[in-house]
Amino acid sequence: MVNKQIEARGIHDPNVLLAMGRVPRHLFVSEALMDQAYGDFPLPIGDQQTISQPYIVAEMTQALELKHEDRVLEIGTGSGYQAAVLAEIVFRVYTIERLHSLFIKTRRLFDSLRYYNIVTRYTDGTTGWKDESPFDAIIVTAGAPSIPKILIEQLAPGGRMVVPVGDRYSQELIKITKDEKGVRETNLGGCRFVKLVGEHGWKA
């Protein structure tokens, strides 16, 4: 998977490639879909949610320009796969899930895989995690109608955020960089995610 689907398509960050090779993706999908876990496509995980295709996970992770000492906030825990990839690279991952069934399932999985540097929370992720901010990086794993300003406020100076923006039919992956000059946006190209639901996202 790493060589053919990820590295061959331009992912070059050695930390990302190593992390993608370490995380057992098949454990983050149902038993019925384990034989498809390493294909380069999203898969359903229940509750009308999906686990993103490996390339998109790698692309978003690389765009965050992570360092080992970073503290990262993830909005939308989902299957837990993206958080596990982040946890292989950074000091601590804070991840929020609004669906209780997924929250319970992934917390148990993190514990069984000994990802003790992942901190989970069950709430509306679109409001962020103010008490633990600022974060070195923020990753949003669902499509927002616009860039949530409240999340930009929770970025540390020099922080990076990656967020899909658009409706269910047309989305762009946007990278936010926050520095002394202000906030800059970079369009990383088209993508497709489930909707980001919450106070600063789409209505349920």
The catalytic residue positions are 52
Return d(Cα 167, Cα 171) in angstroms, integer: 6
Dihedral class, residue 30 (left if φ above 0, else alpha if ψ from -120 to 50, else beta): beta
Distances (CA, A) of 58 to 21, 36, 94, 127, 170: 11, 18, 18, 25, 21
Residue whose entry in the numeric block shows the structure tokens 């922080």 = 159
The dihedral over CA atoms of 201, 158, 56, 121, expressed in degrees to the nearest 10, equals: -50
Residue whose entry in the numeric block shows the structure tokens 């901190």 = 119
Nearest-Å Rg of the Cα atoms of the chain is 15
Q: Which amino acid makes up residue 66?
A: L
